[in-house]
Structure 1
Amino acid sequence: MAIKYLTIILLLLGTNSLAQANKTFFNELKSRKGKTFHGRVIYMPDTVTKNDFWGKNLQFTVSKVNNEIRMPFIVGENRSRTWVLRKTPDGLELKHDHRHEDGKPDTITNYGGTADKILSSDLTQYFPADKFTAALIPAAAGNRWTLQFSADKKKFFYILERDNILRFKAEFSL
C-alpha cells in the first residue's frame, strides 16, 4: 500500500515539475514580447537542401502573448512561417503555421507536437511530432523540435531532429 502512495506522489511531483518547467520556459519567452532576435543556421547536413536557409539572415519576433506566443520566423525575405507556442491542458504545444503571401494557410501547416513530459526543463522544451503531423507529413513522424535557451539565456536555439538524427540547428542572439 505504501508503495502505491509513493508512486502516486512521485507521479504528481513529476507532473508538477513539468508544469513548472513549461511555465518557466513560457514566461521566459513571454518576457521578450515585442523584441526581435537575429540568428543564423549553425548546422545543416549536406543531405538537406540548404537553399532555403543556409547563409540567410534568420529572425523571429516574440509577438502576440496570452496563452499563446506567436513568433513570426523570417528567413531572408521569406515571411511565410510563424512558430506558435501555446499552453494546453497537456502542456506546451509547438506548431508551425505556414501561410501564403495573401494570408491563406499553406497545405502543409500546423504541424508540431506537445512538450515531452520527461525530457523538457526550464531551459529546454522537446516537442515530438504529434499524430496530426505524422498524418500530414508521413516522413516527419519521427521529428522532434527543440526550443532551448543557453544556460546564461543570451542565446536561443531552434533544433530539428528526425529519427534521432540532427537535421537543422539555428542560433539566435538574445
Structure 2
Amino acid sequence: MRARLLLAATTLFVTACSQPTLEESEFMHRLSALCGKAFEGRIVSEDLQDDPWRAQRIVMHVRSCTKNEVRIPLHVGDDRSRIWVIHREGDRLALHHEHRHEDGSPDALTGYGGVRDDRFSGSRLNFPADEATKALFDASGIPQSKDNVWAVEVRPSHSLFAYELERPGRFFRVEFDTAKPVDPPPAPWGAN
C-alpha cells in the first residue's frame, strides 16, 4: 500500500512539474492567435551595427503552430535564412534559432538559444543562453555571445510582437505591429 501511495505521489509530482505554467499557457495562446499571419517590423534599438537591417524590409511569419511548438521565420530583405522556434523543452518553454543556407543546408551557427528563466509573464519570456549554446559560441569564436539573453513579447492589447537580444554592451530589439498583417512571404530556406 505504501509503495502504491509513493508511486501515485511521484506520478502526480512529475505530471505537475511537466505541465506548462498559467503564464506559459497564456503566452502560447497569444502566440498561436497570430498563427498563419505575417507582420512587418522595425528595429527600435539604437545600436549602429544594426543599420544594415534598418535598410531592409523585415517580415516575420508565424508559419506553423502546434500545442508545443511555434515556428516563426524571419525575413530580412531577400534573406530567408532565420527561424525562431519556441517549443517545450522539459517543463519550460525554450527559444532556439535555426539558420539555413539558400540550398537548405544548416549554417554552422544554428540551434542556439535557451530555456526560459524565472523572469516571465503571460506576455514576455526571457531565454538566457543554455550550456550547449555557450559551447557553440566558444567554438565559433564569439565568447561574448555566451551572455546573450533573448526575449519574446506578445502583447495583443498593444498590437505588439517583439524580439530582443541583450548582453553587456549589446541591445537589439525589433517590434512588429500585429494590427497590420502583411502578405505571408515565401517559405524560409530549407522548409518542407
TM-score normalized by structure 2? Answer: 0.75
- Residue 78 of structure 1 aligns with an amino acid whose one-letter code is D
User: 1:172 offset after TM fit, Å?
Assistant: 0.2
- Find the residue that maps to 1:122 and give its secondary structure: coil
User: 1:43 offset after TM fit, Å?
Assistant: 1.1
Structure ID, larger Rg: 2
Distance 1:36 1:42, change over 3 A: same
Higher RCO (C-alpha 8 Å, min separation 6):
2
User: 1:44 offset after TM fit, Å?
Assistant: 3.6
Moved more, 149-158 or 33-42: 149-158
Q: Is the 8 A contact 1:41 1:55 kept in 2?
A: no
Distance 1:18 1:57, change over 3 A: same
Structure 1: distance between partners of 2:158 and 2:93: 19
Structure 1: distance between partners of 2:156 and 2:164: 16
- Residue 172 of structure 1 aligns with an amino acid whose one-letter code is F
Structure 1 segment 89-128 matched on structure 2, within 5 A: 89-117=90-118, 119-128=119-128
- Residue 58 of structure 1 aligns with an amino acid whose one-letter code is I
Identity over aligned residues, as a percent?
Answer: 35
In the other structure, the counterpart of 1:6 is none
- Find the residue that maps to 2:26 and give its secondary structure: helix
User: 1:16 offset after TM fit, Å?
Assistant: 9.8
Structure number having the greater helix percentage: 2
TM-score normalized by structure 1? Answer: 0.83
Structure 1 segment 31-110 matched on structure 2, within 5 A: 31-46=33-48, 48=49, 50-51=51-52, 53-66=53-66, 67-110=68-111
In the other structure, the counterpart of 2:171 is 167
Gaps in structure 1 of 5+ consecutive residues = 1-14
Distance 1:17 1:104, change over 3 A: closer
Number of equivalent positions: 156
